[in-house]
Amino acid sequence: MLIRRPNDIRSSEITDKDLYLGRRRFLRGAAATAGAVLAAGLGPRIALAARQRLDDVRKTDFGKGETPNSYQDITSYNNFYEFGTGKADPAANSGDFDPAPWTVQISGEAEITGEFTLEDILAPHPLEERIYRLRCVEAWSMVVPWVGFPLGDLLQRFKPLSAAKYVEFRTLHDPERMPGQRRPVLDWPYVEGLRMDEAMHPLALMAVGVYGEVLPNQNGAPMRLVVPWKYGFKSIKSIDRIIFRETPPRSSWEKAAPNEYGFYANVNPEVDHPRWSQKRERRIGASAFASKIPTRKFNGYGEQVASLYSGMDLARNY
């Protein structure tokens, strides 16, 4: 835990009592969620963690007019290779994962570095719900009501130095608790990164819940990134390290298949994946007979984020 002497603390930094108690309730909920499993007769889609409500979540206008996928869709169709490569594997294999207690290591080009508890990370940040579209390179998509807080608000707390041009994120590496890491599917731990201006964009979210409830293990408990204008693999889960960098990190999928996955990972229907088209997508939960819908550039968030890439060749910087 970050410890500071009382005379070091400005009144503006003292957490509001209700907010503090809300964070405590979140942490208790995260602990209660870990390891609990419901067997609901759903065949391979049975491992849904016990559901725990979050307090004081502020509704927002993000995603107004969108129809979210069901809780079952969101929690039983996942990419989380730490628990297996199949879409149903994370729900089936993460029931014993315990995300409490949790610490996050902050390092690199910032004034404030060190190890922080989950409570340290969450305490100053009011939670809000944002309904975002999520797009995966395998030509599927879903709409998710995430609960979290702006990533930029978190990063600013550590006072990045001018040399910090990028930020790197790492997933917990613990093969005992994450059985998928026992296989060399990727170069563990999972690594992702953003350019600093991307990370500071108000759409980028650090998520700690979904549907007003504590984030289930299979969705990246206790904290995961959501970058709605990029493909889903950019939204790294179960983050336990954040590094401020002068140079871009090499992400896990860049290392695994550099001809298929680039650093930027912006949704771009004009650039095909080498093994499939990106021009159309199917919404998870839709009938198998439903027509695919056109994929929108930047996943439909172009008005907000296109200026970040002004002058860049997005076919080369994929």
pLDDT string in tens for the chain (318-residue length): 443 333 443 443 444 544 444 555 555 555 554 444 333 333 333 344 468 999 999 999 999 999 999 999 999 999 999 999 999 999 999 999 999 999 999 999 999 999 999 999 999 999 999 999 999 998 999 999 999 999 999 999 999 999 999 999 999 999 999 999 999 999 999 999 999 999 999 999 999 999 999 999 999 999 999 999 999 999 999 999 999 999 999 999 999 999 999 999 999 999 999 999 999 999 998 887 788 999 999 999 999 999 999 999 999 999
The structural domain count of the chain equals 1
Flag whether 1 is in a domain: no
Predicted TM-score of the model (pTM): 0.86
88 within 8 A of 180, measured Cβ to Cβ: no
Flag whether 246 is in a domain: yes
Instruction: Report the SS3 class of residue 119.
Output: helix
71 within 8 A of 211, measured Cβ to Cβ: yes
What is the C-alpha to C-alpha distance for residues 113 and 244, in angstroms, rounded to an integer?
Answer: 10
The DSSP symbol for 66 reads -
What is the C-alpha to C-alpha distance for residues 151 and 198, in angstroms, rounded to an integer?
Answer: 10
Residue with tokens 């790294």: 236
Flag whether 314 is in a domain: no
Flag whether 214 is in a domain: yes
The H or E element containing residue 87 is none
Per-residue exposure over 249-280, b if at least 16 CB sit within 10 Å of its own CB, e if not? bebbbbeeeeeebbbbbbbbbebebeeeebee
The pLDDT of residue 23 is 54
Flag whether 129 is in a domain: yes
Flag whether 8 is in a domain: no
The H or E element containing residue 27 is helix 17-33
The pLDDT of residue 37 is 33
Flag whether 9 is in a domain: no
238 within 8 A of 224, measured Cβ to Cβ: yes
CA dihedral 205, 210, 216, 220 (to 10 degrees): -20
The pLDDT of residue 289 is 79
Task: Give me the residues paired with residue 191 across strands.
Answer: 170
Phi/psi for 233 (5° steps) reads -65, -15
What is the C-alpha to C-alpha distance for residues 61 and 130, in angstroms, rounded to an integer?
Answer: 7
CATH number at residue 89: 3.90.420.10
Flag whether 316 is in a domain: no
The boundaries of the domain holding residue 127 are: 16-309
Q: Which amino acid is at 262?
A: G
